[in-house]
Structures are given as C-alpha cells and as structure tokens.
Structure 1
Amino acid sequence: MHNDLIALAGVMVRNSVLLIDFIEIRLNDGIELKQAIIEAGAVRTTPILLTTGAVVIGASIILFDPIFQGLAISLVA
C-alpha cells in the first residue's frame, strides 16, 4: 500500500515541478503570472499526458503479476 502512494506521489510531484519550472521561466521572460500559467498549461499538457500514458501502459503490463498487482492497479487508476 505504501509503495503505491509513493509511486503516485512521485508522478504528481514530477508533473508539478515541470509546470512550476515552466511558469518561472516565463515569469523571468517578463510575462505576467496569469499568462505564464495559461502558457504552462497549454505547452506542458501534452508531455504530461504522454508521460502518464506511459506509466499506465507500463503498469498494465504488470497488472497480472501477483506480487506487483496492487501497485499496478493504483498506477493505472
């Protein structure tokens, strides 16, 4: 159970860090905060979805393994 939470937290933190980093870069370029947030969402959504899709596909492979089944279920969900 705890491994599941750690894996999910890792995915969420990585995505959050990427968004915040992109926003900070845009703010340093002189873009206002609201516009930087909108651009971050528009530009980073596709890579985040692709990464999440890769996690789901990878977890689907181990879905039927009795040892890692709990982790796979939580990652796919």
Structure 2
Amino acid sequence: MGAVLRPPFTGLRAIPEVLRAAVTDPAVRALPPRGGVEQWVDDVGTLNDADLRRRLAQARVERSSQDGRVQG
C-alpha cells in the first residue's frame, strides 16, 4: 500500500475557511459565498433531498447576511 492510502486522512474540509481567512481586501471579503450545495455538502442523502437542500441554501444566505456580507 502506498503512502497516499495510509491513514490518517487529512481531508479537504478546512480549505475553504483557510482561503477565506487569507483574503485581505475588504470588498472581496464582503462578497457572499458562492456555489451550490453540492460544493459544500458531501452527504448523498442530503443531496438527494430537495427540500433539505433548499433549506440549507437559505440558511447559508441568512448566515451570510448576519455576518454582514453583501448579498448579490
């Protein structure tokens, strides 16, 4: 077994927050997160539930509004 297949696996979940934290331009930081639910949810059951997907997307928009991000 190669080194790539040996646990522990680090995963990629932290990358979006790390990238967002590295942005220093206030205008860019004010932009809302973009992308569909598929880009930040990896649970197949959630992705197959249309109502849950809509609620998650709405919650993300509301959270962005509360964080003071400009909606566009």
TM bin, normalised by shorter chain, reads: 0.3 to 0.5
What is the TM-score normalised by the length of structure 2?
0.37
What is the TM-score normalised by the length of structure 1?
0.35
